[in-house]
């Protein structure tokens, strides 16, 4: 099988490409240059897509013994990830740019270019598994539960499951992957993982948003409308936030306050007691269904995850509406939870699991307590 291996310059993608070669595939490596200013995109273990990363990817390909190319996808990344990130905050949502990047860049753009060039599949260093099920390929959690990335891959859509190779899904741990890199002499075995938001390498998300959205003074209010303080823009706050509220007056009962809601139309931030964050119903749009239509009908052994590394929460019932393909945004879903969950933010991904298998992904629009 002809495989296009995405080489980020890190240890995971390098080992994944090497394993694809060892499995007998005809592999070509490609580094996706996502930044228009690569010299500014790595600070220690923050950020990615730097000149350093491109060089590490090239060296890994040379050691593995595969052809290597660099593709400039900075324009696509700016349009589909960075601009969307800013727009979502403007709407009062809390987006997950890694999900967006996987959807539009790492799988849609890469897979479509690879297919046009005659490649059968794309190989990445994600920690998740493609399993041959009775009705076709299935997306499952990786063996290393601490590194599992099935949450951010659920958005790829069912059509991509037949065209992706994920060698690290069976890796027992990150330590094992680093040991493999050392054994293969890849030179990146001790390279630190990148984390946080790659296009905000200094970690100052509020500074980034100020640069793009500016400042706008507004009120911090209780659910009843009492003004408790002021802020410089609702986009600086997310659901469940406790720190950085700068409220001088304590609550009447002395307990801390949390962000319950942001209101873009009035530039208000609503705060209140922690129990007001608890919800048991989540409504989500842009549904991507990876299973058969009836796979979630009985509600058995179903769980949802609303954060990349959040704990799975048991589901009582799933209500699905409309079409559910990545190209069609009309599909939606309502998930009724078997127990309450706190701090669910609009804009984040909701992923439905049956055991270790991913059934669906959707974008959270609202959450409440029935």
Indicate which residues carry an active-site annotation. 101, 198
Q: How far is CA 133 from CA 76, 129, 141, 315, in A?
A: 34, 12, 14, 23
Alpha carbons 18 and 186: distance in angstroms, whole number: 9
> Is the C-alpha dihedral spanning 231, 232, 236, 238 positive or negative?
positive
Alpha carbons 124 and 30: distance in angstroms, whole number: 11
Give 172's DSSP letter: S
Alpha carbons 134 and 48: distance in angstroms, whole number: 38
Alpha carbons 78 and 68: distance in angstroms, whole number: 24
SS3 180: helix
DSSP line for 141-165 = E-S-TTT--HHHHGGG-GGGGGGEE
How many C-beta atoms lie closer than 10 Å to residue 217's C-beta? Answer: 9
Looking at the chain, which runs of residues are DSSP E strands?
2-6, 26-33, 42-43, 46-47, 68-72, 121-123, 128-133, 136-141, 164-165, 218-221, 227-231, 258-263, 268-272, 278-289, 302-305, 313-321, 332-342, 349-354, 357-368
Q: How far apart are the first and last CA of the chain?
A: 51
| Token pair belonging to 66 | 């595969």
């Amino acid at each position: 099988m002809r495989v296009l291996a995405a080489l980020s310059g890190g240890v995971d993608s390098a080992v994944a490409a090497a394993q694809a070669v060892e499995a007998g595939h005809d592999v070509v490596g490609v580094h996706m240059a996502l930044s228009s200013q690569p010299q500014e995109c790595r600070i220690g273990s923050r950020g990615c897509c730097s000149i350093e990363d491109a060089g590490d990817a090239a060296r890994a390909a040379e050691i593995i013994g595969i052809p290597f190319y660099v593709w400039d996808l900075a324009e696509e990344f700016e349009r589909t990830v960075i601009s969307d990130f800013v727009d979502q905050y403007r709407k009062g949502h809390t987006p997950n740019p890694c999900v967006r990047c996987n959807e539009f860049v790492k799988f849609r753009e890469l897979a479509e270019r690879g297919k046009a060039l005659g490649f059968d599949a794309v190989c990445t260093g994600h920690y998740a598994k493609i399993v041959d099920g009775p009705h076709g390929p299935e997306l499952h959690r990786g063996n290393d539960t601490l590194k599992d990335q099935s949450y951010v891959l659920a958005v790829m859509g069912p059509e991509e499951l037949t065209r992706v190779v994920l060698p690290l899904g069976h890796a027992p741990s990150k330590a094992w992957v680093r040991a493999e890199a050392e054994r293969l002499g890849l030179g990146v075995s001790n390279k630190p993982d990148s984390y946080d938001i790659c296009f905000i390498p200094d970690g100052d998300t509020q500074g980034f948003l100020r640069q793009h959205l500016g400042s706008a003074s507004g009120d911090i209010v209780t659910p009843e409308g009492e003004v408790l303080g002021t802020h410089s823009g609702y986009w600086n706050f997310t659901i469940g936030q406790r720190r950085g509220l700068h409220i001088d007056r304590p609550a009447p009962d002395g307990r801390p306050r949390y962000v319950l809601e942001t209101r873009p139309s009035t530039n208000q931030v609503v705060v209140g007691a922690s129990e007001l964050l608890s919800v048991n119903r989540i409504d989500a749009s842009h549904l991507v269904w990876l299973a058969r239509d009836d796979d979630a009908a009985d509600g058995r052994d179903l769980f949802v995850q609303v954060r990349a590394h959040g704990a799975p929460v048991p589901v009582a019932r799933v209500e699905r509406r409309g079409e559910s393909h990545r190209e069609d945004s009309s599909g939606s879903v309502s998930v009724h939870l078997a127990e309450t969950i706190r701090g669910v933010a609009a804009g984040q991904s909701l992923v439905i699991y049956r055991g270790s298998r991913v059934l669906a992904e959707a974008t959270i629009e609202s959450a409440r307590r029935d």
